[in-house]
């Protein structure tokens, strides 16, 4: 019998059951190293399609492919043992039909071992969410600013800027909850709307630029660590790792150029003793 202790991984129903309880903590991660760090502190990790912009240098999430999401999902699953891992369905992998969505989501779940998928949209994806959840694939929904729709939205600015838009977003959130999503991301909406939706829904709301009124929060890891140059206004930078890395690389370059780089000497000294 194995003496190894198996760590119990958080599930989508566990997150669903947190409505009205302790706030849900979440961050994105795209590789095994960061996933291991995030795993210690977060309830779920999102392998977001933001990977396209953050890691691959793309100008939007639209070109991100299913194969890219699967590769990053596999890496995150290797690094995280405890948190629920949710992988984004990328643009073009689920909008065609509910059958297309199921085939894409099934690939993600089978090839990564993750516990849930996320997709963007409201009323128009409710039928798809119902189709996936009733076939064993938990879905995290995403309403408000939906970055995959950048070409029709035109900008990444906040949503819910008038009463009509607010009503549509509230209707979207209700539709995805009724369709069976275990939680819903609210992106870039004002606090009164986020508070109204959070009070209205039986599932947890996860805010990103949507105020503390939500049941939980998510941020893009590179933004909050200060690794990205430009971050949305609502993001607090909890560290300045970009500046720290720049200083370290500059110090290394200086030592190499000045022939004071210690590496070779140290290895020689080690061998002699």
Nearest approach in angstroms of CB 88 to ligand KIV is 5
> Contact between 115 and ligand KIV (CB under 6 A)?
no
Of 77, 185, 186, 210, the residue at the interface with ligand KIV (CB under 6 A) is: 185
46 vs 139, beta carbon nearer ligand KIV:
46
**R_g over Cα of the chain:** 21
CB count in 10 Å sphere of residue 122: 23
180 vs 217, beta carbon nearer ligand KIV:
217
Contact between 122 and 169 under an 8 Å Cβ cutoff? The reply is: yes
Nearest approach in angstroms of CB 191 to ligand KIV is 18
Q: Clarify whether 187 is annotated catalytic.
A: yes
Residue 178: exposure state from Cβ atoms within 10 A (0-12, 13-18, ≥19): middle
**Total number of residues binding ligand KIV (CB under 6 A)?**
11
Contacts of 124 (CB under 8 A, 6+ apart): none
Q: Which of residues 55-114 bind ligand KIV (CB under 6 A)?
A: 88
> Contact between 228 and ligand KIV (CB under 6 A)?
no
38 vs 220, beta carbon nearer ligand KIV:
220
117 vs 201, beta carbon nearer ligand KIV:
117
What's the CA dihedral at 63, 187, 87, 130 to 10 degrees? Answer: -110
Helices (H), the chain: 12-16, 32-39, 51-54, 66-79, 98-112, 126-133, 150-153, 163-178, 191-200, 221-224, 241-257, 263-272
> Contact between 50 and ligand KIV (CB under 6 A)?
yes
Nearest approach in angstroms of CB 242 to ligand KIV is 18
> Contact between 148 and ligand KIV (CB under 6 A)?
no
> Contact between 125 and ligand KIV (CB under 6 A)?
no
State the sign of the Cα–Cα–Cα–Cα dihedral 247, 251, 257, 258. positive
Nearest approach in angstroms of CB 61 to ligand KIV is 6
CB count in 10 Å sphere of residue 228: 18
Contacts of 70 (CB under 8 A, 6+ apart): 87, 107, 108, 111, 112
Nearest approach in angstroms of CB 150 to ligand KIV is 12
Which one from 120, 187, 240, 254 is the annotated catalytic residue?
187
What distance in Å separates the CA atoms of residue 23 and residue 101, rounded to the nearest whole number?
A: 30
Q: Where does this chain touch ligand KIV (CB under 6 A) — which range of 47-55, 67-75, 76-84, 243-251?
A: 47-55
> Contact between 49 and ligand KIV (CB under 6 A)?
yes
What distance in Å separates the CA atoms of residue 220 and residue 236, rounded to the nearest whole number?
A: 11
Of 203, 208, 224, 225, the residue at the interface with ligand KIV (CB under 6 A) is: 208
Residues with catalytic function: 187
Residues engaged in binding ligand KIV (CB under 6 A): 28, 46, 48-50, 88, 142, 185, 208, 218, 220
């Amino acid at each position: 019998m194995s003496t190894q202790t198996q760590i119990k991984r958080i599930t989508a129903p566990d997150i669903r059951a947190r409505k009205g309880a302790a706030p849900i903590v979440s961050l994105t991660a795209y590789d095994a190293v960061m996933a291991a760090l995030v795993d210690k502190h977060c309830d779920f990790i999102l392998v977001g399609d933001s990977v396209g912009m953050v890691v691959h240098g793309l100008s939007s999430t639209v070109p991100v492919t299913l194969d890219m999401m699967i590769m990053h999902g596999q890496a995150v699953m290797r690094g995280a043992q405890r948190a629920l891992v949710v992988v984004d369905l990328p643009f073009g992998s689920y909008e065609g039909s509910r059958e297309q969505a199921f085939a894409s989501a099934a690939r993600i779940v089978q090839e990564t071992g993750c516990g849930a998928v996320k997709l963007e949209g409201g009323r128009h994806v409710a039928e798809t969410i119902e189709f996936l959840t009733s076939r064993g694939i938990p879905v995290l929904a995403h309403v408000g600013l939906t970055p995959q729709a950048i070409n029709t939205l035109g900008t990444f600015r906040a949503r819910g800027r008038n009463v009509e838009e607010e009503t549509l977003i509230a209707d979207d959130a209700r539709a995805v909850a009724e369709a069976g999503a275990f939680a819903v991301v609210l992106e870039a909406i004002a606090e009164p709307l986020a508070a109204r939706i959070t009070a209205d829904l039986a599932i947890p709301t996860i805010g990103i630029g949507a105020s503390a009124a939500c049941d939980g929060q998510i941020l893009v890891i590179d933004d909050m660590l200060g690794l990205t140059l430009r971050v949305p206004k609502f993001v607090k930078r909890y560290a300045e790792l970009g500046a720290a890395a720049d200083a370290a690389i500059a110090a290394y370059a200086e030592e190499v150029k000045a022939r004071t780089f210690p590496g070779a000497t140290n290895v020689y000294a080690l061998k002699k003793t």
